[in-house]
Amino acid sequence: MNTYRLLISCPDAHGLVAKVSQFIFEHNGNIKEAHHHLDAQNKRFFMRIEIESNPAHLLDDFKQAFTQLAKQYQMNWQMNDANQRKRILIMGSKSSHCVADLLHRGHENELEGNIIGILSNHNKLSKIASWYEVDFKQVAIEKATKTADMAKMMNTVDSFNPDVIVLARYMQIIPKSMCEKYQGKIINIHHSFLPSFVGANPYQRAADRGVKLIGATCHYITNELDEGPIIEQDVLRVDHSDSAAEMQKMGQDIEKITLAKGLQYHLEDRVLTCNNKTVVFR
């Protein structure tokens, strides 16, 4: 028995759950897990169903037959084989905490995907990539040659043929063309101080301001910098006794956990987008 994941987004209509469930039954599928949600504000319905079936006859036949039902209800839908592990490309700069965490999770088979490479604008991450036996590519981004360097970076990304790209503290703005090409496939992580403390030394400025919460946000990349649909967030309380250095250490821990969770939700096909927000079926 193989497991498949059916993801549906469509205008709300009566009987959608019954129609889809009956269709799965008639095509010899067994529902293993099911989630659905109605976004009342947008009048849009979302569904995620895990289906067990004999792989010899389900996937192609199901997709062909389901097209008719999908047209009837104006569905955006996809059906993925859960056994087909997604190809993960990690992009980083100098900070190694998120990169190292993901590499170790991949090494321990904690991710439903295969890390196929690390791409960086610096050489610092090459040693850790070598230790985990992951392909490493460096594409430096220089002010004087930025346009050409960015083009080289995008060509290198394409050469990896990734299913998902993880910006694990990659400190360069992703070009618009790349955002559009990999829409819904580029995941980013940043600290929770945006937009209050943009730029360098955010933890020092947050400590000077006396913030009481620090955290991290994992989201999809769009053309609007750091404004993409949020997948996962987490926070931690701090107080006057915590220095900027201590806050940064705590913040990096939250970044690692939040990024790993957000990536795993994506790998398990648990995230659907609606305008600029997400529906995440945990």
- Domain end call among 20, 48, 81: 81
Residues classed as catalytic: 226
Same domain, yes or no, for 159 and 257? Answer: yes
* CATH classification at residue 115: 3.40.50.170
Only one residue has tokens 């609606």, namely: 274
Distance from CA of residue 224 to its chain's centroid? 17
DSSP H/E element including 27:
none
Same domain, yes or no, for 125 and 71? Answer: no
Domain count, the chain: 2
Query: Whole-angstrom distance between the N-terminal and C-terminal Cα of the chain?
Result: 23
Tokens of 154: 């995008």
Q: Which amino acid is at 16?
A: L
Same domain, yes or no, for 169 and 43? Answer: no
Same domain, yes or no, for 61 and 154? Answer: no
What is the block-wise mean pLDDT of the chain (282 residues), using blocks of 10 residues? 94 95 92 96 95 75 90 95 95 97 97 98 97 98 97 98 98 95 96 71 87 93 91 94 92 96 98 95 96
Helix, strand, coil shares of the chain, percent, nearest 5, are 35, 30, 35
0.75 exceeded by the pTM?
yes
* CATH classification at residue 32: 3.30.70.260
Other C-beta atoms within 10 Å of 176: how many?
Answer: 10
pLDDT of residue 96: 96
- Peptide bond preceding 175: is omega within 30 degrees of 0, i.e. cis? no
Tokens of 4: 């498949």
Same domain, yes or no, for 270 and 146? Answer: yes
Same domain, yes or no, for 77 and 94? Answer: no
Exposed / middle / buried, residue 273 (Cβ in 10 Å: 0-12, 13-18, 19+): middle
Q: Helix (H, G, I), strand (E, B), or coil: what is residue 71?
A: helix
Tokens of 10: 């469509």
Its domain, for residue 37, covers 2-81
Same domain, yes or no, for 166 and 49? Answer: no
Same domain, yes or no, for 57 and 186? Answer: no
What interhelical angle do 202-209 and 244-267 show, nearest 10? 120
- Domain end call among 48, 81, 114: 81
Same domain, yes or no, for 54 and 106? Answer: no
Q: Helix (H, G, I), strand (E, B), or coil: what is residue 147?
A: helix
pLDDT of residue 191: 85
Only one residue has tokens 């915590």, namely: 242
pLDDT tens-digit readout, 34-82 = 999 999 999 999 999 999 987 656 677 888 899 999 999 999 999 999 9
pLDDT of residue 202: 85
